[in-house]
Copies of this chain bind each other. A is one copy, B any other.
Amino acid sequence: MSWLGLAPDDPFGVANLPYGVFVGRDSVPRIGVRVGERVLDLGGLEADGLIAAAGALRAPDLNPLLAGGRALWTAVRRRLVELLTATAEPAGVRDHLGQRADEVRLRLPFAVADYVDFYSSEHHAGNVGRILRPGEPPVRPNWRHLPIGYHGRAGTVVVTGTPIARPSGQRLPPGAGTPTFGPSVRLDIEAEVGFVVGVPSELGTRISTADFTDHVFGVVLVNDWSARDIQAWEYQPLGPFLGKSFATSISGWVVPLDALDRARIPAPVQQPGVLDYLREPDRYSYDIRLEVVWNGTVVSRPPFRELYWTPAQQLAHLTVNGASVRTGDLYASGTVSGPRPDEVGSFLELSQGGTEPVGLAGGATRTFLEDGDVVTIRATAAGPGGAVIGFGEVTGTIRPS
């Protein structure tokens, strides 16, 4: 349909157009859009007058584009579609498609303001409760009334490909009364979906569930690396801290919400009913299908559609107390786990708390992460007319402590 000649099911076709920041041959960070196997240099396009965004596309990160709001997002996307779907090739565009996606280095696509992590999968919360607090009700009484969340460390959000050093910290050995210090022996992943805030809000105001798409620009994949032994000893009474703060990886391509319209599906029915500020005039989620790959073996396929709390509810909750959001805020769904054993988003769950080894290709087995292990989370969703929306991947290799 286009001079580009992409296959109809290319995960980076014109129905997708995810944004990122890449560094190519000249070592200058530029905003790009992934198109098939190539990167379209938007900074170059804007410099040449082929697209207009008040300079936002010539920035070294996505923040000015994010801050521009829905009118700018729509205008840029419309123009890109126009350029890329013309039957006759527009002059000058191909000059900015000179680099292959596998030749460039992706950078953190936006400067992260605040990072919040939710806990919105009932299957995950239940699994973790059963493993960590046997004999107690697995999900606490507040869980179905509000999307539980907490603040993570924004400064240690890193882009896909960044090596992950095994963290050291205090752990309480089984049966011991005092902690020891050393490298984590229960290093884990959390497969999540993250939402990127573009348009800020004022301190003292709320964002309603209906205004979700006015503020949120798009979606990244998130691996919220977790040291379960450090976390277990430290987390009472104020929550996770060093067990999580050493690194959180995100994918390099931000898929705009506009690419996910066709992936909208009804969100799970909530029982009991929720308080007014969490009600949604049009309650929907996204059918994003994740895959977790451990040293080359697909070990799990977490389904985002199962999440009990939607991203619109999460944003409404986050701001209901008057807290403001900023351009570059990132909030993640929490670990995505479905009802089946092969749909869980953490190795804590996959290995039943480390008691059931997981088989990988070549006869290897694992409970938690070993040095040198590589974990990749990837995802797709359905686009219009049989198109596939690819999220790329978030990957990391464990380095020794």
Contact = CB atoms under 8 A, between A and B. Distances in A.
Interface residues of A, number: 61
- Please give the count of copies of this chain that the complex contains: 2
Nearest to A179: B145
A38 interface: no
B246 A235 contact: no
Interface stretch (A295-303, A323-331, A372-380): A323-331
A130 to B, nearest CB: 13
Query: Taking each of A168, A181, A243, A323, which has the highest tally of chain B beta carbons within 10 Å of its own beta carbon?
Result: A323
Given A142-B233, A150-B150, A151-B151, A324 B277 contact: no
A142 B158 CA distance: 30
24 contacts: A113-B155, A114-B154, A140-B236, A142-B179, A146-B179, A148-B238, A150-B240, A151-B153, A154-B154, A155-B324, A155-B326, A165-B204, A168-B320, A181-B276, A181-B277, A235-B237, A238-B240, A239-B240, A242-B318, A242-B320, A242-B321, A245-B318, A246-B321, A247-B322
Interface of A: 113-114, 119, 140-142, 145-146, 148-156, 158, 165, 167-170, 172, 177-179, 181, 203-204, 227, 230, 233-243, 245-247, 272, 275-277, 317-318, 320-326, 329, 399
A159 to B, nearest CB: 12
Given A238-B150, A239-B237, A170 B275 contact: yes
B242 A239 contact: no
A277 B181 CA distance: 9
A168 B321 CA distance: 5
